[in-house]
Structures are given as C-alpha cells and as structure tokens.
C-alpha cells in the first residue's frame, strides 16, 4: 500500500530552515530503505509532501512511525496529514520503483 504525507509548517520558515538539513538526511535514509518514493516542498513553500510505501496491514502505525522520526515533527515545527492511499491507476509503475 502507498500513502501521502502532507507536511504543513507551523512555525516561520526561518525556524524551519534550522532543521531542514536533518529533515533531508532523514528523508534520504527513508529513500535508501525503499520507503520514500518521492518528496519535496510545496510551492509556495508552506510545507511539503511525501509519497511513501507502507504495509497493507495497519498502515497508520507505519505512518505514525514515519512522522515521529522526522526532525521537523520532533522540533514541533510542522503538522502532518497522514493519508493511506489505495492506488488504482499507476500502481504497476509505483510497484516497480
């Protein structure tokens, strides 16, 4: 199963930028593990979005763990919307990633 994580900053961008390096390092780790498929800031930059791979059983537990590991979350800089996604069109392409 896949999921979208929408991240919305709750603090000024200047504060967010102090943790951005650690946040990106965390995302790099998730990418290397095959969990993160795509991510990036929204435009305008008031947050970001992640496309992730999660388990079919209890995807919300995986999503909580992913959120809890993010330095933005740990520093209280962002809110998260965790959305399990049952992909229909394009699933074969995602499965190959």
Selected residue with higher pLDDT from 25 and 88: 25
* 8-state DSSP, 11: S
Task: Look at the pTM and tell me if it is higher than 0.85.
Answer: yes
- pLDDT category of residue 93 using cuts at 50, 70 and 90: confident
Q: Nearest CA to 30 among 74, 75, 72, 69?
A: 69
**pLDDT confidence of 50, banded at 50, 70, 90?**
very high
Q: Which of 71, 70, 33, 39 is nearest to 54 (CA)?
A: 33
With beta carbons less than 8 A apart as the criterion, state whether 13 and 45 touch: yes
DSSP H helical ranges for 34-80: 59-69, 71-74
Q: Which residue has the higher pLDDT, 57 or 87?
A: 57
Percent of the chain topping pLDDT 70? 100
pLDDT at 29: 98
């Amino acid at each position: 199963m896949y999921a979208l994580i929408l991240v919305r900053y709750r603090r000024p961008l200047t504060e967010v930028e102090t943790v951005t390096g650690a946040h990106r390092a965390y995302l790099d780790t998730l990418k290397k593990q095959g969990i993160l498929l795509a991510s990036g800031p929204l435009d305008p930059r008031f947050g970001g979005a992640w496309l992730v791979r999660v388990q079919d059983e209890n995807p919300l537990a995986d999503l909580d763990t992913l959120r809890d590991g993010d330095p933005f979350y740990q520093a209280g800089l962002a809110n998260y919307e965790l959305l399990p996604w049952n992909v229909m069109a394009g699933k074969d392409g995602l499965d190959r990633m």
